[in-house]
């Protein structure tokens, strides 16, 4: 199993640490797979807040180019940070709120590079299987940009159905955390609720553990471990069937 995962990492140029524990290697594998934006055509939705801002933004043309690529089904991952292809890197914004951030440049430092050049301004965007929801453009160095509840406010005002299942009715979390406090608690691995515009939410995204790992990645890894335990005898009796079944479990 370890060889199958490591071969996948090597084939696609994914950074990873050599973990002797199968369970941890699987979790980190699914950490990457969840961060990876699947290639495919999507509808494009743009928030009212961004629609106004984008018209005069310095990266206006680049942002519209990203929108066009999303609609036509091109690979959007080159706009992600390079760390998105590091299986051991924890993206707490994505884990907690399921929001990606994209750099806005359509240029590459070298023609053979996979990733585009980094930019100070970032596009914050939420992807579903069939739609991309562009929330806002914020600067990389803005105060508390990675835990800015204004992003949740924008989702709430434009597409409340995306987070309505995470709303906890008839409750207000106490203390009412500031953006700065949310960032601090994330780094410490705490699970917490947030209040935005008189509504309270829990688990808007997948959630994360104290180690920083994505909770959904852990559940997916456990499913593979259960399959391995159930089908272990195939290693001796039908190795081809074992390999095919394992790759199916890993979505390879």
204 close to 173: Cβ distance less than 8 angstroms: no
24 contact partners, CB below 8 Å, separation of at least 6: none
- C-beta neighbour count of 77 within 10 angstroms: 18
Segment 140-147 mean pLDDT: 91
- Any residues with CB less than 8 A from the CB of 9 and at least 6 apart, and which? 15, 16, 29, 87
In angstroms, rounded to a whole number, what is the distance separating the alpha carbons of residues 91 and 213?
A: 9
Place of tokens 């600067």: 139
What digits encode the pLDDT tens for the residues 42-77? Answer: 999 999 999 999 999 999 999 999 999 999 999 999
Angle made by CA atoms 244, 250, 251, in degrees to the nearest 5: 85
The pLDDT of residue 149: 97
Domain ranges of the chain: 36-213
Closest CA to 166 of 126, 131, 222: 126
Q: Which pLDDT band holds residue 125 (cuts at 50, 70, 90)? A: very high
Q: Indicate whether 10 pLDDT > 90.
A: yes
């Amino acid at each position: 199993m370890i060889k199958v995962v490591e071969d996948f990492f090597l084939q696609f140029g994914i950074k990873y640490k050599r973990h002797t524990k199968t369970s941890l290697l699987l979790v980190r594998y699914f950490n990457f797979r969840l961060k990876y934006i699947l290639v495919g055509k999507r509808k494009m939705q743009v928030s009212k807040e961004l629609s106004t801002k984008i018209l005069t933004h310095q990266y206006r043309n680049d942002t519209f180019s990203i929108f066009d690529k999303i609609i036509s089904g091109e690979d959007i991952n080159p706009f992600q940070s390079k760390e998105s292809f590091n299986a051991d890197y924890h993206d707490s914004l994505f884990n907690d709120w399921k929001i990606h951030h994209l750099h806005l440049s359509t240029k590459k430092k070298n023609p053979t590079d996979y990733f585009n050049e980094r930019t100070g301004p970032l596009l914050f965007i939420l992807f579903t299987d069939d739609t991309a929801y562009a929330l806002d453009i914020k600067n990389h160095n803005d105060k508390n940009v990675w835990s800015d509840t204004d992003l949740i406010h924008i989702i709430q005002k434009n597409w409340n159905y995306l987070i309505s299942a995470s709303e906890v009715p008839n409750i207000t979390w106490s203390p009412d955390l500031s953006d700065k406090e949310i960032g601090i608690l994330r780094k410490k691995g705490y699970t917490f609720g947030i209040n935005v515009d008189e509504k309270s939410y829990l688990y808007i995204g997948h959630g994360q553990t104290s180690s920083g790992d994505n909770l959904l990645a852990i559940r997916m890894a456990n499913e593979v471990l259960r399959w391995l335990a159930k089908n272990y005898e195939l290693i001796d009796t039908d190795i081809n069937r074992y390999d095919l079944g394992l790759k199916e479990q890993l979505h390879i």
